[in-house]
Structure 1
């Protein structure tokens, strides 16, 4: 049978007629890709060693528009022929895997992702397939968490966030976060860890891990008010410690009667004068002692404000230049990061296991490191960290 020969106008008319059908574009793609692969095999066999020949086809699915393409991959007897288009399809598959993980990391459920991939690509990915995709990328996230660190970070923020996680049953578990300011004044998440509860003993393990990965020195730790965390840090690093002033205020107000709260708030603001450029630790201690004299008969727990040693952990920020005090007297920076974690996790009532939480938190941290935290902190210069 002679080969049918059509001119350009006839070919265009045939293509127009085919693509006008509901699934015509996908049919055209199938025919074009299959024909290209078949022609590539013919050219390959003509240039190949003698004894090799065509050996049928194998069926695979490719990405179409709204539905999958049915493709026929040509084979040769020796198994050496690999169509160039396979690399393109492999890249598509990798891209789909990355898309699934990005969507999952942004908070979509596996069911949401299944629906999106079916609608856009015509590629039906089951819940188990999507779960396997996310698991396959967990190794990269683990490498991120275990990567070597710089030897020096000017400031390190430490905090824990809690996520409902399933072990034998679902419960809120602690995920420990370390956020560092780098010498170039950008920020970077340098540690993500898990333990069932927050404790100073596990923070000890965190310190050991940071050191084993290369961290040797920091000038300042900014932490919450967890008992004995300060002594844990001092055991591992020669660094100043700033405890969160906002956490202190909340803990005091939680034990104050409602009718006294406004007055106590005013007095606490009088102690911690963040807008006072000329403030010193001595002046702060004097004000604190005056406030204690006013309230201690009603609230004995406020007596500790008059203890110079205890209060020193909350006034370390006064050893720093005025321009950076607002960013180091609280753990607000790392709490903002925790809010980003919560946004990713909030759609899910609970996570199936610890590794899934660590993987998602790592992905959020990588995104923050590569975008938000790449911008240097304004007005913050290494030369004037300390007075």
Structure 2
């Protein structure tokens, strides 16, 4: 009586023990078959002298778990150094392929590097993906990103936020390059990343091209644009959307002021400037702004002079319903999206090509739009009819 027969006899009256015994025997049998397959493929037994200098050899194994009627078994799938061996004992991992590829794309979008993804997938599922294979799977998103850039846009947005962030990109050398981003909120309160584009630096010419492209794809009317102080931005907006109004981001203005005053004065100036967007109406805000001029003009004449020059663009948000003012005096909403991109891009250190960066940001943009599809931005649902009345 061999060992298997003895063990079977002992387990005969306990179903759990029988299943455990059969599971272990099946696991050993499958692993033996896989090792035999590799031996037949290579043409020599493990450690045999005949295998020396043949140009290929064993290269460890990756682990894979397989469900059977007796429970889960752990399989060691052997590998050859040249990567040419393909086992036939087990069926391909089709039951997980779609899931794994979706996971790879999701991990890539989170900023995990291709090598880290390959290691993680192998440890979790036993499926071996090389970093190159992971990269190729992520490239499946390229046609979707191209379609995203070319899709027809809604004909009107109540407000559109414009801002640029910088991400490291390698061309010949690597440097941080500008990613131009436009996020809009429709009159019904639904928001989306309208589009983005990549360029070596931020300038009004690139913004103009992006605005014209948005208009050519169907975005005919915008009531309000919000942006920082890029030189020439207001002129570019007037050329493309002459009926739109412009609100300069008050947070950017405050940062600029703080950069030009003494450290000891910054906290006081910042607290006083914040009062400008916390007033009940435009008239009260004007009084606060002018009081700010009077108090600080002597100490910081050049700062106040610059502030007076842009005053027409500082309080435009007061012309709209109070329910949405908290959302339209700054570009904070788009900056939160920028911060997500930066955080997820940080593990990558740099992107090897413009296309890889484009794909990465495209995944973020489409994910954002999917997440907020049909959600109404705070305050907009209460004044939807009023916001619709601003359009023809």
TM-score interval, normalised by the smaller of the two chains: 0.7 to 0.9
C-alpha deviation, 1:261, in angstroms: 2.3
- Root mean square deviation of aligned Cα: 3.0
Q: C-alpha distance in 2, partners of 1:94/1:263?
A: 57
C-alpha deviation, 1:94, in angstroms: 3.1
Q: Does 1:267 align with 2:272?
A: yes
Q: Does 1:187 align with 2:204?
A: no
Question: Partner residue of 1:361?
Answer: 361
Look up the SS of the partner of 2:347 in the other structure.
coil
Q: C-alpha distance in 1, partners of 2:307/2:119?
A: 57
Q: C-alpha distance in 2, partners of 1:15/1:333?
A: 57
CA distance 1:320–1:136, change in 2 (3 Å): same
Q: C-alpha distance in 2, partners of 1:28/1:376?
A: 59
C-alpha deviation, 1:208, in angstroms: 1.3
Q: C-alpha distance in 2, partners of 1:347/1:71?
A: 38
Q: C-alpha distance in 1, partners of 2:185/2:33?
A: 51
For the Cα contact (< 8 Å) 2:154–2:218, is it kept in 1?
Answer: yes
Q: C-alpha distance in 2, partners of 1:341/1:244?
A: 21
Question: Partner residue of 1:256?
Answer: 261
For the Cα contact (< 8 Å) 2:33–2:89, is it kept in 1?
Answer: no
1:71-110 matched pairs, under 5 angstroms: 71=88, 90=94, 92-110=96-114
In the TM superposition, what whole-angstrom CA distance separates every residue of 1:283-305 from its partner, at most 9, and x where no partner exists?
43344333323322321221233
Look up the SS of the partner of 1:137 in the other structure.
helix
Q: C-alpha distance in 2, partners of 1:28/1:109?
A: 35
For the Cα contact (< 8 Å) 1:288–1:305, is it kept in 2?
Answer: no
CA distance 1:362–1:67, change in 2 (3 Å): farther
Query: What is the TM-score when the length of structure 1 is the normalising length?
Result: 0.76
Question: Partner residue of 2:335?
Answer: 335
Q: C-alpha distance in 2, partners of 1:135/1:108?
A: 15
Q: Does 1:318 align with 2:323?
A: no
Look up the SS of the partner of 2:88 in the other structure.
strand
C-alpha deviation, 1:15, in angstroms: 6.8
Look up the SS of the partner of 1:175 in the other structure.
strand
Question: Partner residue of 2:286?
Answer: 285
Look up the SS of the partner of 1:129 in the other structure.
helix
Question: Partner residue of 1:125?
Answer: 129
For the Cα contact (< 8 Å) 1:67–1:118, is it kept in 2?
Answer: no
Count of residue pairs the alignment pairs up: 329
In the TM superposition, what whole-angstrom CA distance separates every residue of 1:20-51 from its partner, at most 9, and x where no partner exists?
24835967999xxxxxxxxxxxxxxxxxxxxx
Look up the SS of the partner of 1:347 in the other structure.
helix
Q: C-alpha distance in 1, partners of 2:227/2:134?
A: 38
CA distance 1:382–1:25, change in 2 (3 Å): farther
In the TM superposition, what whole-angstrom CA distance separates every residue of 1:239-287 from its partner, at most 9, and x where no partner exists?
11111001101101111112322332243234x141x22x22x543344
Question: Partner residue of 1:375?
Answer: 375
Q: C-alpha distance in 1, partners of 2:100/2:75?
A: 14
238, 245, 265: which one aligns with 1:240: 245
CA distance 1:335–1:273, change in 2 (3 Å): closer
Q: C-alpha distance in 2, partners of 1:185/1:341?
A: 23
218, 222, 226: which one aligns with 2:226: 222
5+ residue gaps, structure 1: 1-8, 31-60, 74-84
5+ residue gaps, structure 2: 1-11, 35-61, 67-73, 78-86
For the Cα contact (< 8 Å) 1:26–1:64, is it kept in 2?
Answer: no
CA distance 1:130–1:62, change in 2 (3 Å): same
Question: Partner residue of 1:52?
Answer: none
| Most deviating of 257-266 and 356-365 | 257-266
Question: Partner residue of 1:53?
Answer: none
Q: C-alpha distance in 1, partners of 2:30/2:146?
A: 40
209, 212, 217: which one aligns with 2:216: 212
For the Cα contact (< 8 Å) 1:101–1:134, is it kept in 2?
Answer: yes
Q: C-alpha distance in 2, partners of 1:91/1:148?
A: 36
Look up the SS of the partner of 2:115 in the other structure.
helix
Question: Partner residue of 1:301?
Answer: 303
C-alpha deviation, 1:142, in angstroms: 2.0
Q: C-alpha distance in 1, partners of 2:169/2:29?
A: 46
C-alpha deviation, 1:119, in angstroms: 2.0
C-alpha deviation, 1:332, in angstroms: 0.6
Query: What is the TM-score when the length of structure 2 is the normalising length?
Result: 0.75
For the Cα contact (< 8 Å) 2:192–2:372, is it kept in 1?
Answer: no
